[in-house]
Amino acid sequence: FAQIPAEDSEDEPPAGEERADARLSEQHLAGGNTKGAVPQEAGGNRKRDGEEAEPDQMPVLSNKARKKKKKRKTKKTSAGETLEDNDLEDIDSLLEKIEDTNGMSQQSQSGGTTDSRPLLYIEHRNLNPENELKRYFGARAVLGDQRPRQRQRQYVRSTWLTAPKNTWPRYSKTGIAMQLLDTGRGVQHFTFEHHREYQQVQFKFLDAVESMDPNNIVLLLQMNPYHVDSLLQLSDVCRMQEDQEMARDLIERALYSLECTFHPVFSLTSGTCRLDYRRPENRAFFLALFKHLMFLEKRGCPRTALEFCKLILSLDPESDPLCMLLLIDFLSLRAREYAFLTRMFQEWESHRNLSQLPNFAFSVPLAYFFLSQQEDCPELERSQAQERAARLIQLALVMFPGVLTPLLDHCSVQPDARVASHPFFGLNAQISQPPALNQLTSLYVGRTHALWKDPAVMAWLETNVHEVLRMVDAQDPLVEESEHKRKMRYQSAPRNIYRHIILSEIKEATAALPLEVTSQPVMGFDPLPPLDSIISYTRPERTNHPSNESTLSLFFRSLLPNFNLQGDLRHDGDEEAGAGQDLNQGVNRLMAAMRDMLANIQFQEPPRDDNPEGDGDWD
């Protein structure tokens, strides 16, 4: 039996082609993972060596091999799609096993964390929420009868961010392209570009937004079903109308439209591809990823949401236009990726000062506490994690005392008499903190208070709060130093923090926004654009100004769209000289319009009787 496949590969080229196709399909499903293909290639080389060593037996078994191969082909064609579906399921199960074993070996080699990979390394399989749901509920509960439906689709395009649906319109080129700007220091800078036809659609979209009528955006999407900004804006409208399913579907369609325009060199997983948020063409991709991330988190897929958060941060880690550092700690705790959060704090603290953000100051010790509670860890690591957790949470409480009371209120926990009566954690701690710090603390408490409701966490927090009160009563110099830092810093928040608060829609943080932010209009497709934007094309100015027309002129314009009482725009120097002449011309235009309107009115004649005399009486 070991020699039959060897002769198939020699005598029958179709069998070899089918195996090559199966190998390519496995590589395609594995997302370019060439490790799964190495054993097959090695096995193929061994078969070829065996074929050269035993040339005498090849003619004897070749006829039997052909007959058996023909029987296999007839079986495959008679069974229809069921065998192909089983093959696909077998391939998926094999790939999952290979990825699981790879992940386990990497974790065992690095002691629990993948230190050999970059911090923002992204795995393709973690971008698919179905993989996370299958880990929770099983593949049969998630997929069901979905696989046969996918085989009936007319078009299939492999994408990583979203999977196209049968209900979507057929995709065609939208007029967006991605270009490579420059490469240097191991980083590649890309940008999206709008072609002329897409610019015209963008101008129509801006007109539709200014009309304040969502139906105009719907009409625009009927003509251009993959216009990205229209999809983003209409998604916000659907979400406000509590149509969450349609809102999520529109965001996925926007991501699919943008992914179809990726540059061949652009990589989602490398962490070295950059997009500049100052360019308006790039902002739609950032916002679509952020909105998709929020839907994933609400859907119960925190691990997938964390991967998208890392993707957004990798696109511009220096400026961080959507301030993903205020969110990544929460998603790490939700996904139980404690090792990733602690590693990020260790690697970025020196140059990003993460401890000066209240969310990192409190979430990192909470992650160490959860690590100390894991029974499968060695006793030494658990004790070290417990010591780090205690030290960091005490530093956080000293630096940000205004977090404790709102956090306990959200958790419905009443502090003891000593904590409630002490001025360090009292009402004065919240009133005296700067406005920017108040926004950060409100954002953190409103977002992550559910993670602190665990009784074990509360008992650990209570112990460290009393230790901090002992430091305050002993007049520790660290307390005074932290108070001085609070007064000097956090006077005003940068624009990306305001943008993050607006997109997050957490009412505690939104209520703390300053008046200069809440007083200006905020568009869902471009909230708080950067002040130093790089504009590649501008919207043309309108030639007519209907707002300056009179009520009578607007009435006749509604009847006759081509009517213009004011005529062409006048130069400022000729206004007074030609006032009387313009008045006469306006009256003449009005009379001509009235004559045209009356001339175009046609009355329907009553039906005539066949009587030629026409003098008969009506019934």
pLDDT one-digit tens code per residue, 485-514: 998 989 889 999 999 999 999 999 999 999
Q: What token pair was written down for 136?
A: 């929770």
Residue 275 tokens read as: 């997009």
Calculate the alpha carbon distances from 499 to 246, 286, 323, 339, 444 in Å: 24, 12, 8, 29, 15
Assign 193 to helix, strand or coil: strand
Q: What is the pLDDT of residues 387-403, one digit of tens each?
A: 999 999 999 999 999 99
pLDDT range class, residue 135, cuts 50, 70, 90: confident
Report residue 408 CA to chain centroid gap: 32
Question: Which is higher by pLDDT, 94 or 536?
Answer: 536
Look at residue 15 in the predicted model and tell me its pLDDT: 43
- Average pLDDT rounded to a whole number, residues 127-144: 84
Burial of 126 (0-12, 13-18, 19+ CB in 10 A): buried
CB-side exposure of 190: number of CA atoms within 13 Å? Answer: 21
Model confidence at 543, pLDDT cuts 50, 70, 90, reads low
**Cβ neighbours, 10 Å, residue 500:** 26
Confidence check: pLDDT of 303 > 80:
yes
Tell me the mean pLDDT in the region 336-343.
96
pLDDT single digits (tens) 574-609:
444 455 555 556 556 666 666 666 555 555 555 555
Res 25: pLDDT: 46
Of the two residues 489 and 363, the one the predictor is more confident about is 363
Residue 29 pLDDT level (bands cut at 50, 70, 90): very low
CB 404 within 8 A of CB 379: no
| pLDDT of 215 | 93
3-state secondary structure 326-373: HCHHHHHHHCCCHHHHHHHHHHHHHHHCHHHCHHHHHHHHHHHHHHHC
Split at pLDDT 50, 70, 90, the class of 44 is very low
Output the furthest CA–CA distance in the chain (Å, rounded). 121
Phi, psi of 527 (to 5 degrees): -75, 130
**pLDDT the model gives residue 478:** 95
Cβ proximity of 7 and 58 under 8 Å:
yes
DSSP letter assigned to residue 591: H
What pLDDT was estimated at residue 81? 42
For residue 51, the SS3 value is: helix
pLDDT for residue 156 is more than 60: no
* pLDDT digits 0-9 by tens, 254-277: 999 999 999 999 999 888 999 999
Measure Cα distances from 369 to 338, 366, 410, 571 in Å. 9, 5, 21, 73
The pLDDT of residue 474 is above 70: yes
Kindly state the tokens that stand for 608: 């005539």
Question: How is residue 3 written in tokens?
Answer: 């020699």
* Model pLDDT for residues 452-469, shown as the tens digit of each residue: 999 999 999 999 999 999
**What separation, in Å, do the N-terminal and C-terminal C-alpha atoms of the chain show?**
101
Q: Is the C-alpha dihedral spanning 30, 33, 34, 35 positive or negative?
A: negative
| Res. 361: pLDDT tops 50 | yes
CATH superfamily of the domain spanning 119-141+159-322: Tetratricopeptide repeat domain (1.25.40.10)
Give the amino acid at 413: V
Least confident interval from 4-8, 152-156, 167-171, 392-396: 4-8
- Residues 423-448 pLDDT 10s: 999 888 888 889 999 999 999 999 99
The residues, ordered by sequence, that sit 6+ positions from 40 with a Cβ below 8 Å of its Cβ are: 23
Contact 295, 471 (CB under 8 A): no
User: Percentage of the chain surpassing pLDDT 70?
Assistant: 67
pLDDT of 19 above 50? no
Which amino acid appears at position 473 of this protein?
D
pLDDT at 434: 92
Question: Within a 10 A sphere around the Cβ of 258, how many other Cβ atoms?
Answer: 23
Confidence of residue 520 (pLDDT cuts 50, 70, 90): confident
How far is 330 from 333, CA to CA, in rounded Å? 5
Domain ranges of the chain: 119-141+159-322, 337-535
Question: Mean pLDDT across the chain, nearest whole number?
Answer: 78
Mean pLDDT of 561-575: 47
Q: Does the pTM exceed 0.85?
A: no
SS3 annotation, 125-190? HHHCHHHHHHHHHCHHHHHCCHHHHHHCCCCCCCCCCCCCCCCCCCCCCCCEEEEEEEEECCEEEE
For residues 220 and 45, what is the distance between their CA atoms, to the nearest angstrom?
57
User: Tell me, what's the pLDDT at 35?
Assistant: 41
Nearest to 216 by CA among 205, 201, 231, 227: 205
What pLDDT is recorded for position 595?
Answer: 62
- Please determine, for residue 219, whether its predicted confidence score (pLDDT) is greater than 50: yes
Both structure tokens of 465: 């709060």
The lowest-confidence range among 203-207, 400-404, 609-613 is 609-613
The pLDDT value recorded for residue 363 is: 98
User: Greater confidence, 22 or 321?
Assistant: 321
| pLDDT score, position 497 | 96
**pLDDT band at residue 282 using 50, 70 and 90 as cut-offs:** very high
Element (H, E) at 282: helix 280-299
